[in-house]
Structure 1
Amino acid sequence: MTPPKESQTAFQKLLRHLEVPIDANAEYENDHWTNRDLIPMPLERRTYKIWSYFIYWCISGLCISAYTTGSTLLAYGLTAPQAIACLVIGAVVVGILSVACGWMGERHHIGFTVASRFSWGMRGAYFPVLVRVFTAIFWDGIQGYWGGQAVAVTIGAIIPGFAHMKQTLAGGVLLTKDFIGMIIYYIFFIAIMRIPPEKLQRPFIISSIMFSGTLIGLLAWAVTNTHSGGPLFEQTGNPIHGGTGWAMIFGINAILGAWGGGTLGQSDWTRYANRPYAPTISQLFAAPFCIILCAVIGIIVTSCAQEIIGQLIWEPFLLLAALQEFYNDSPRARAGVFFAGLGCVCAQLGISIVLNSVSAGMDLAGIAPRYINIRRGAYILAFLGLASNPWQYLSNAATFLTVLSGFSIFLAPFTGILLADYLVVRRCTLKLEDCYIGDRSSIYWYDSGFHWRALLAWVIGTFPTMPGLVMTTQDPAAWGAWVRTFHIAFFVGLSVSFVAFWLICKVSPPPGLGVGLSYHEEGTGVVGADVDKDEGSEKKGSEE
């Protein structure tokens, strides 16, 4: 209960002022579990159609991370054709996982933050949410650093003197022009994040068109100058460990790990679907197509560029800077670099919003719903991403990226538990109102707010891959059974935790199975209204 205004202290008035906005005539209240961005998505905010999700996957698949995927696959000793085969298999599995993880968002209109409550308990849900936020901070820092470099390249195409600046900061590991680029990048990022997620389709279209133009331009330049696929397509494979079969398995797992966070959080976006199955076609077809297309173009362009300029450069914005120098700052080259660099900036802005800002913003909202919504959470993430000093940990990229990639050993078990619980154990039946009640009256309260079955399954799913992560961090050349298991961490973590959670729930069924509404019963109705009218649950949840 809120104390009368006349009895409020100055501090209480300040806290009241800092609370996130609430809709006019809202039937919910901001409390410890609820705010506008956490409730089941109301009908009027479900604005994403089939084409919207196609554009979403253009952002997620046609991006710099996908472009550089070939460097990971070839590093395992695969040939270019073998790497493309891995891309096809991995991208198809990504599409299938996206459908499975996005199903609850599409049908129950809740995101991962709220979904974690029925799997982990009302208090236990903070654990997967905090892990995802922690991971997002560093990935957002990396994406912001790359975005800053892309901005610097774009400005350098207009001002050649800026492109050739050699001044450094942070002990010589950060170019001044890149830091300036980062500041400009974050200004654009903050401006875009003022747009609510349900209205981001138009910015996504612009981003997709711009980076598609960059890919087409680079591909046309590369192929017309070499009339071939370049030397990478002529090299024979040399798998680093265990032969071609193991190398291909490692490569497929690397693809799944790269998009693991995106698949886990699919419900963050599918909850905006205007009707059932709206996201499904794009997830099954557009997702693999965009990922494969972008990565293959990356391999071809990098291969041809090596033949033309004599350097192996995987990042497109660094390649653009090298091309401007290679062509001696000619007006024609600078014009091409400007528009291509602008496409890279748009790609970075899009992927940062899709994979980091909205999802992590909602996770932060789940930690303090009364004072943080998606927009404020995204601003906090941007600040922490910049404050993480990505140029410092990227200066020792090999070890750091191994550790950061190792976060898939934590995220994959989250995915396995979520899929097992929702699809198999609960059979898509949820009592949504109880996801907003923070006491024993909620069937998702379990033991003092924690679900021990989920924690046990997560430990079982994480254990096989943890020793390999430690060994690889200490010695990148380490090899053995534990390291091989770590290299397939996503496969192992997802499957082991899935089976473990299902078996644990078979032996000790959690309370409340079959209680609530399935997606068949909810259909396309206003789920928010269902929540309000069912036993006054939304108000009941706000009495915490």
Structure 2
Amino acid sequence: MASISRSGVSPVDVPRAETARPGELPLSPRLYSADLAPTRAANRTWGRYSLFALWTNDVHNIANYAFAIGLFALGLSGAQILAAFALGALVIYGLMNLSGYMGQKTGLPYPVLCRISFGIHGAQVPALVRAVIAIAWFGIQTYLASVVLRVLLTAIAPALQAYDQNAILGLSTLGWVTFLGIWCVQVAIFAYGMEMVRRYESLAGPVILVAFTALAGWMYWRCGLSIAWSSGNPPTGSTMCLKVLGAAALWVSLYGSMILNFCDFTRNCPDKRTINMGNFWGLPVNMLGFALIAVVLAGAQFSIDGKLVQSPTEIVAAIPNTAGLVLACLAFLIVTVAVNIMANFVAPAFVLTNLAPKLLNFRRAGLLSAAIAVLILPWHLYNSPSVIVYFLGGLGALLGPLYGIIVTDYYLVRRSRVNLPQLYSESPEAAYHYRGGVNLRAVAAFIPASLIAIVLALVPAFDTLSQFSWFFGAGLGGLIHYALADRRARHLDVSGEAIAVDSAQH
């Protein structure tokens, strides 16, 4: 059996020995694999542009545009929408940095990072919550991308519409071909590992920026260089403040899943400055540009014919030129695939690897999660509002408490000091064994915070507070966990018993 010492652990640094030497704790094969080990300095290839491109793809996706255009339809003015996104972007920037620093300093993927606060076995709960959400949305986003591909193919070859009339398990023949085609493309990209993911995201970023900027410019020209800045009478006074704050809070909630596992990407960054600069251009600056484009698209369409569009796909579908329609559809396909891989493919791959590191590696786990996404027939989920609201919405309400507990434990309880080797040991003497591998204090904080967040998010009586449910959950989870945290563990880390991680060594 391999063993680990206090000096650190990495894919190649783990000593191989049949028995542990005195003073060392045994390395558990149920907890360790090369994919779960801290990233070494030599392998940290994600720079500022990599993060900027990552966020460009994620921000400029169809679902986000539908959300922003929806605010215009609800009566908010262009200026109010820009204010809401500016506020939300600043909050997201701060939260992502906190999450990103943890990954950069420790080099750990999200499921292993969860072991610090929840224990080596208790970490499976927060990891699985993130994975279930990701797998469901991976299937849904793949289906939505296949719909765009169907539009593109029938525009090029109208005869293909004959294969779009039947139904096999809810999809037409053409629907199955396009769905499986998009699925195969994503799996092929992912099969080459995180470096290929980085390259694809870097390539897709500029394409998306150019495509949406060109679409907004075309719409601005169509409406005679004058757009409507609201669809009615914008709210004023306290009502305006509440709506702007609510929109900003919902915008933050949309990023609740990525806020949790952003460490899966920043573990590949060389230093904090890379995260600060990449996130600055990728989040606040990028999001303001995104909001401006959304306002132009919605305002221009409303100025032209008084129509309130629901999504940029409606604008694209009305492009009279076939070549323009095809190019716009290709851009939408590129961004949807990019978003799906980063937000809904990487996370479950690490989680499933963490469940069975002896059987699964990163690629096998990714393929398994992609297969599950097909088996759940995601188009049925998408077409069932109750499933989206109550199942995925309920799971989404758990993300705030998880973030509050993990961040509070890392920064306030442990003061950013982690004993990396003991995260991979099942020995009762290990720092993260707690009681049977589960930190019951973290669980005790998670349960009440989650229940309150779910009630606020789903119960109609609390509709005015539902948009702030992520913040209530994160705040309560963090406060309760800090109050219950083991004082001895806190003293252990602060006193230096646990090693302080130097990213340059891992």
Is TM > 0.5 for Structure 1 vs Structure 2? Answer: yes
Q: 3-state SS of the aligned residue for 2:274?
A: coil
> What is the aligned partner in structure 1 of residue 484 from structure 2?
504
Matched, 1:313 2:309: yes
Q: Which runs of 5+ in 1 are unaligned?
A: 3-21, 328-332, 472-477, 528-544
Shift of 1:243: 3.1
Question: Which of the residues 98, 117, 121 maps onto 2:115?
Answer: 117
Conservation of the 8 A alpha-carbon contact between 2:92 and 2:283: yes
2:277 to 272, 275, 281: 281
What are the Cα deviations for residues 57-103 of structure 1, in whole angstroms up to 9, with x where unaligned?
22222222332221453466533322221111001111111100111
Give the counterpart of 1:59 among 57, 60, 68: 57
From 71, 89, 103, the counterpart of 1:91: 89
- Which residue in 2 is equivalent to 1:493? 473
How much does 1:395 deviate?
Answer: 1.9
**1:144 and 1:185 in contact (8 A); partners too:** yes
Q: Which residue of 1 aligns with 2:233?
A: 236
After superposition, where does 1:59-208 map in structure 2 within 5 Å? 59-74=57-72, 77-162=75-160, 167-169=165-167, 174=171, 176-208=173-205
Q: For 1:410-464, what per-residue CA distance to the aligned partner results, in whole angstroms no more than 9, with x for missing partners?
A: 0111110111011111000000001000230211000111101111111232232
Deviates more, 1:184-193 or 1:42-51: 42-51
Question: In structure 2, how many angstroms separate the alpha carbons of the residues matched to 1:139 and 1:101?
Answer: 22
Give me the TM-score of the superposition, normalised by structure 1: 0.82
The separation in 1 between residues aligned to 2:436 and 2:456, in whole angstroms, is: 34
SS of residue paired to 2:285 = helix
More divergent stretch after superposition (147-156 vs 491-500): 147-156
The residue number in structure 2 matching 1:40 is: 38
Structure 1 segment 245-256 matched on structure 2, within 5 A: 245-256=241-252
Asked if the contact 1:260/1:411 (under 8 Å) is kept, the reply is yes
Match of 2:19 in 1: none
* 1:388–1:512 distance in 2 versus 1, CA, 3 Å: farther
- Report the alpha carbon displacement of residue 165 of structure 1 after superposing the two structures with TM: 6.6
Tell me whether 1:379 sits opposite 2:371 in the alignment: no
Q: CA deviation at 1:278?
A: 1.5
Q: CA deviation at 1:494?
A: 1.0
Question: Is the Cα–Cα contact under 8 Å of residues 409 and 490 in structure 1 kept in the other structure?
Answer: yes
Q: For residues 224 and 163 of structure 1, do their structure 2 counterparts lie closer, same or farther at Cα, with a shift above 3 Å needed?
A: farther
Task: Tell me if 1:525 matches 2:487.
Answer: no
Paired with 2:155 and 2:95, the residues of 1 have a C-alpha distance of 41
Partner of 2:211: 214
Deviation at 1:26, TM superposition (A): 7.0
1:450 aligned residue: 438
Contact 1:157 1:163 in 2 (8 A): no
Contact 1:153 1:317 in 2 (8 A): no
Structure 1 pair 166/263, CA: closer, same or farther in 2 (3 Å)?
same
The structural deviation recorded for 1:344 is 0.9
Cα deviation, 1:466-524, whole Å, max 9, x if unaligned, reads: 223442xxxxxx3x3x33333211111111111211122276756843332224xx1x4
Q: Which amino acid aligns with 2:473?
A: G
Q: TM-score, normalised by structure 2?
A: 0.88
In the aligned structure 2, how far is the partner of 1:47 from the partner of 1:382? 26
Aligned length: 486
Q: Name the counterpart of 2:451.
A: 463
Which residue identity does 2:500 align to in structure 1?
Answer: S
- Give the corresponding residue for 1:11: none
Equivalent in 336, 358, 362 of residue 348 of structure 1: 336
- Relative distance call for 1:76 and 1:517 in structure 2 (3 A) is farther
Give 1:363's aligned amino acid: V
Cα distance change of structure 1 residues 80 and 455 upon mapping to structure 2, 3 Å threshold: same
Amino acid in structure 1 at the alignment position of 2:326: F
Separation of aligned partners in 2, 1:75 and 1:444: 50
- Provide the C-alpha distance between the structure 2 equivalents of 1:187 and 1:157, rounded to a whole number of angstroms: 22
Contact 1:434–1:444 (CA under 8 A) maintained in structure 2 = yes
| Distance in 2 (alpha carbons) for counterparts of 1:77 and 1:233 | 6
Q: Which moved more, 1:375-384 or 1:298-307?
A: 298-307
Structure 2 Cα separation of the partners of residues 72 and 398 of structure 1: 20
Contact kept, 8 Å, 2:99 with 2:260, in 1: the verdict is yes
Structure 2 residue runs without a partner (length 5+): 3-9, 17-26
Cα separation, 2, equivalents of 1:229 and 1:262 = 37
SS at match of 2:397: helix
Find the aligned partners of 2:386 and 2:484 in 1 and give their Cα distance. Answer: 38
Cα distance in 2 for partners of 1:397, 1:299 equals: 27
Alpha-carbon RMSD across the aligned residues, in angstroms, is 2.8
Cα displacement string for residues 156-196 of structure 1 (whole angstroms, at most 9, x for unaligned residues):
3322343687514258x645544332111111111101222
2:265 to 254, 264, 269: 269
Structure 1, residues 393-413: CA drift from partner, whole Å, max 9, x if none? 222336624642343320111
Structure 1 partner of 2:20: none
What amino acid is aligned across from residue 412 of structure 2 in structure 1? V
Q: CA deviation at 1:372?
A: 1.6
Rounded Cα–Cα distance in structure 2 between residues aligned with 1:399 and 1:24:
44
Give the deviation of 1:24 after TM superposition. Answer: 8.2
In structure 2, the residue matched to 1:300 is 296
Identical residues among aligned pairs (%): 21
